[in-house]
Amino acid sequence: MLDVGCGTGQLLRRARAEGHRGRLMGLDPAAAMLVQARAARPDVEWVLGDTRVRRWGAGFDLVVMTGHAFQALVGDEEIRCCLRAVREALRPGGRFVFEVGNPAARAWERWTPERTHETVAADGTPVRVTHEVLDGGPRDGRVRFTEAYDSDRWPAPRVSRGVLRFLDPGSLAGFLAAAGFAVVEQYGDWDGRPPAAAAPEIITVATPAP
């Protein structure tokens, strides 16, 4: 199993903890994330980089991209490059599983500074997280936003900028077909509901086409 954009490796760490004894590899371009992953599970392969510079020859039964990592591919060629690499990494009959936010659900309209959620940093510090959309909303399907992290223990908030691309079902299907993938299943949310116009997600299970 290959996790592209694995972050701190929570998915693979859980897979190993629950008994997975096969090959597990996490790929991420953020070295700091992989430091945490390695410290937690040294028995998983953690690789620094992305699909533009890393290649595997049909070595995996399953490739996943979670946490809307696929939406961080904002350019057409970035998407094509990633899909080519994933297809090359999969064995015949393997599966590529990923999700994108459904643009029809307009999730970005709820990314406002008034909506705060809380999390905990790696050192146990309670952190408040807020988002704010820039440029008034999506442009060419791309939403630019800030993500702010704040804590009573910090002297000032930590703010980062990001861009996510929202692909409509037709565009997504076109990229997959052009890369040689066939869609096996799709869902509208993590509860297994079917795709729908107002469903929050487009969760896709694809396989290399014969």
Q: How confident is the model at residue 7 (pLDDT cuts 50, 70, 90)?
A: very high
How many Cβ atoms from other residues are within 10 Å of residue 11's Cβ? 17
Using the predicted structure, report yes or no on whether residue 26 has a pLDDT greater than 90.
Answer: yes
Using the predicted structure, report yes or no on whether residue 122 has a pLDDT greater than 80.
Answer: no
Contact predicate 144/131, CB 8 Å: no
As a whole number, the mean pLDDT across the chain is: 95
Distance CA 6, CA 35 (A): 12
Distance CA 149, CA 126 (A): 10
pLDDT digits (tens, 9 = 90+) for 38-89: 999 999 999 999 998 877 888 999 999 999 999 999 999 999 999 999 999 9
* Best CA proximity match to 63, nearest among 83, 35, 40, 38: 83
Instruction: Please tell me the predicted confidence (pLDDT) of residue 33.
Output: 94
Instruction: Please tell me the predicted confidence (pLDDT) of residue 210.
Output: 85
Structure tokens at 41: 């599970």
Q: How confident is the model at residue 121 (pLDDT cuts 50, 70, 90)?
A: confident
How many Cβ atoms from other residues are within 10 Å of residue 143's Cβ? 24
Contact predicate 50/34, CB 8 Å: no
